[in-house]
Amino acid sequence: MLNLMSKTIIQAAQKQIDPPLLVPDDGFLLPIRTQPGGLNFFRAGTRETITPLNTGANIPIGLSMEEQRRAAIRQAFYVDQILTAGSPQMTATEVIQRQEERMRVIGPVLGRLMNELLRPLIDRVFALMLRADMLAVPPTSLQGIDIDVEYVSPLARAQKSSGLNNTMRALEILLPLSEGLPVADHIDPDGLVRHVTDSLGVPKVTLKSQREVNEVRQQRQQAQEEAAQRQRDQEDVYTTGTGGAGCKDGWRVKDIDRLKFMYRETFDTEHGQKVLRDLEARSNWRASSYVAGDANATAFEEGKRAVLLHIHNMMIKE
């Protein structure tokens, strides 16, 4: 129908631009020349002239009807819902709200398309390939497990993103409450990361497997335990033995007391206090020494902190 309308409008435009001519049946010599500069001969003394035939074509009405047909076709295929234009002044909340409205309109159609067309088609093709031995032998971890089809088209990802928007809004509400309520007890960090990456369509090759994640966590825990042990060992270096019998590494009690006195004499002065504040700022005195993903850097930072702890311990008066 749209093609016929376009054809009619084109014909009407041609008639307006190059209209038919009304030529008297007598008084003119044929052929009639309509090209620029053409000469037409007519009988002298006659008042009859060649006039264009006005067909009364209304091209704007035809264009309006054609545009209405195009809009109806776009609406039938939900193009107007998918490509809804927004103004530059739209807020993030308004964008999310409009996206949810589009998904409510497209959702039932997309659900039927997946469940009534694509899923039976994929199951049929998979069964035929399986019976024809066209598929490789599945690994042991997949044997006896039902396989689910996940759609990754832009429209399917847009439908998933509505659930992600709800999740992000929930986190925006809950995180400020975490200071007074046990919000973290109700959230699974691993499940949250999987949900976000799946909703955004992040390629699996960019993510670590659960086994690799567990290994990183074990290494981090081991590094923290080693750092804590080094700190305890450093604090115990100058601990005296029972009954004044001596102390670790052969140090005697009177030697330790003399060394502590020298520490206090050094750092209790005005300049010593300034040096001590500078060391505290550089040695993670009141901050965590843990460096994510780097056990060597964590050990290095913890070593700086251990030195400062030793200085403070030596300045304590007993």
Do 314 and 259 form a contact (C-beta atoms < 8 A)? yes
Pair 179, 283 in one domain: no
pLDDT on residue 240: 42
Nearest to 209 by CA among 221, 225, 197, 226: 197
pLDDT digits (tens, 9 = 90+) for 163-213: 777 888 888 888 888 888 888 888 888 888 888 888 777 888 888 888 899
pLDDT on residue 85: 58
Q: Which residues, 6+ apart, have CB-to-CB distance to 149 below 8 Å?
A: 118, 119, 122
Please tell me the distance from the alpha carbon of residue 227 to that of residue 296, in angstroms, as a whole number.
10
215 CA to centre of own chain = 27
Pair 108, 9 in one domain: no
80 CA to centre of own chain = 24
Q: Is 23 inside any structural domain?
A: yes
Pair 54, 108 in one domain: no
Domain containing 240 equals 219-314
Pair 103, 168 in one domain: yes
DSSP one-letter string for 135-161: SPPPPGGGTT--------SHHHHHHHH
Q: Is 142 inside any structural domain?
A: no
Q: Is 144 inside any structural domain?
A: no
Do 160 and 198 form a contact (C-beta atoms < 8 A)? yes
Q: Is 106 inside any structural domain?
A: yes
Q: Is 42 inside any structural domain?
A: yes
Indicate the helix (H) or strand (E) that contains 148.
none
pLDDT on residue 244: 41
Pair 178, 230 in one domain: no
Residue 282 corresponds to which tokens in the numbers above?
């550089």
Q: Is 104 inside any structural domain?
A: yes
Q: Kindly give the parts of the chain with pLDDT less than 50.
A: 238, 240-250
Pair 73, 162 in one domain: no
pLDDT on residue 89: 74
Pair 229, 310 in one domain: yes
Q: Is 314 helix (H, G, I), strand (E, B) or coil?
A: helix
pLDDT digits (tens, 9 = 90+) for 15-57: 777 788 777 777 777 777 777 777 777 777 777 777 877 777 7
For the chain, how many structural domains are there in total? 3
pLDDT on residue 182: 85
pTM of the model: 0.43
In Å, what is the CA distance from 29 to each residue of 50, 52, 120? 12, 18, 75
